[in-house]
A and B are shown apart, each in its own frame.
Chain A
Amino acid sequence: MRKYKIGLFYNIIRGDEKLLIEAANKLNVSLDLINIDNLILKKDVFEAKFDIALLRSVSSTKEKYVAFFLESLGIKTVNSFKIIQNCDDKFFTSILLEKKGVPQPKFGLAFSLGEAKKLIEKLEGYPVVIKPTTGSWGRMLAKVNDDDALEAIFEHKQYLSSPFQKALYIQKFIEKGGRDIRAFVFDGEVICAIYRNSHHWITNTARGGVASKCEINPKLKEICFKASEAIGHGILAMDVFETKEGYLINEVNHTMEFKNSEKPTGVSISSAIINYCLKKIK
């Protein structure tokens, strides 16, 4: 039987990519480590020596270009360009979830201060969270409690160079009670989940949130499946809020970090990713 090879596209080898390399070795799967920063994306220059591309860049901009280019050559990518695009922009994700009726915090987007104030009234007032439409690790998130804070955030954003920062993506603030859930969802199935515990309202483990095992239940499975369907499936990490009214999907990530989640869940997420790629080759 022919041995398949996975092209692992990266630009930095984090603990997560190290786990993927170890998992591939254990599963006797060949990996071709490809540094995105050394690539030339040109049809007659690029030579693919792998069966499927696993995209693990820390830059979603670079990842989108690579995915679109590889797909144009007929090469399968995990995740696909469409999924990356659907997850990369938080407003796009929210719209897709809304279209499928997936519960999520109330949200909207405005470009000016006056319209942002009107939007916040529609969201039933403060507190709200203003997020960049792209990004991770909870960077540049602002919990806004009143008009004064909104005006200050708006003014600061005018001095930021990225045009994306001029879009005010606003979510109703949800009281999380010191934790949220991160669920790892493969083609709609939750393979494991963690609680991210933190006294701070930003619970990312990269920002000090502590991971512990979260037991999977039918309601969690159901909302994650619906969200996965809305995005187009693939391998996703979903941030889920617990509220009195039920679960809410906060965010969906397309290139998940998982190094802090294998130990508390006892699930080898890295092996699951390698096996997912093998399944997609066939």
Chain B
Amino acid sequence: MSGQCPLCSQLLEVKNPEVNELIVCSSCNQRLIVKEIKNKKIIFTEAPNIEEDWGE
């Protein structure tokens, strides 16, 4: 499934996308979140700020 980066418009493919999934745009490196999946299209939004514990 695919959707466009809201910042640079790059078409991004995601295998088995999940709502709230984190991805990084392959073109502009922006961190994005899958906001919703509508009519087999992914709507992305900018990811929230990094929280305090990402486990490494």
Contact = CB atoms under 8 A, between A and B. Distances in A.
Interface in A217-247: 237
A68 B54 CA distance: 20
Interface string B11-55: 000001011111000000000011000000000000110111111
Most interface-central of B18, B47, B48, B52 (chain A CB within 10 A): B52
Contact of A35 (B20, B22, B47, B51): B20
Interface stretch (A43-51, A70-78, A132-140, A143-151): A132-140
Given A59-B53, A136-B53, A257-B55, 5 more contacts: A13-B19, A18-B18, A59-B51, A204-B56, A255-B53
A58 interface: yes
Interface residues of B, number: 17
Interface in A1-59: 10-18, 21, 33, 35, 57-59
Interface of A: 10-18, 21, 33, 35, 57-63, 88, 134-139, 182, 204-206, 237, 253-257
Contacts, number: 77
Given A12-B33, A58-B51, A59-B51, A253 B56 contact: yes
10 contacts: A17-B21, A18-B21, A61-B52, A136-B53, A136-B55, A182-B56, A204-B56, A206-B56, A255-B55, A256-B56
Considering the complex of A and B, which 6 residue pairs feature the smallest CB-CB distances, nearest first? A60-B53, A59-B51, A13-B21, A257-B55, A255-B55, A136-B54
A121 B15 CA distance: 54
B53 A135 contact: yes
B55 A253 contact: yes
Contact of B52 (A14, A135, A182): A135
Contacts of A206: 54, 56
Most interface-central of A13, A204, A254, A257 (chain B CB within 10 A): A13
A60 B56 contact: no
B20 A134 contact: no
A30 B46 CA distance: 30
A13 B35 CA distance: 12
B56 A21 contact: no
Nearest to A38: B20
Contacts of B33: 12
Nearest to B54: A136
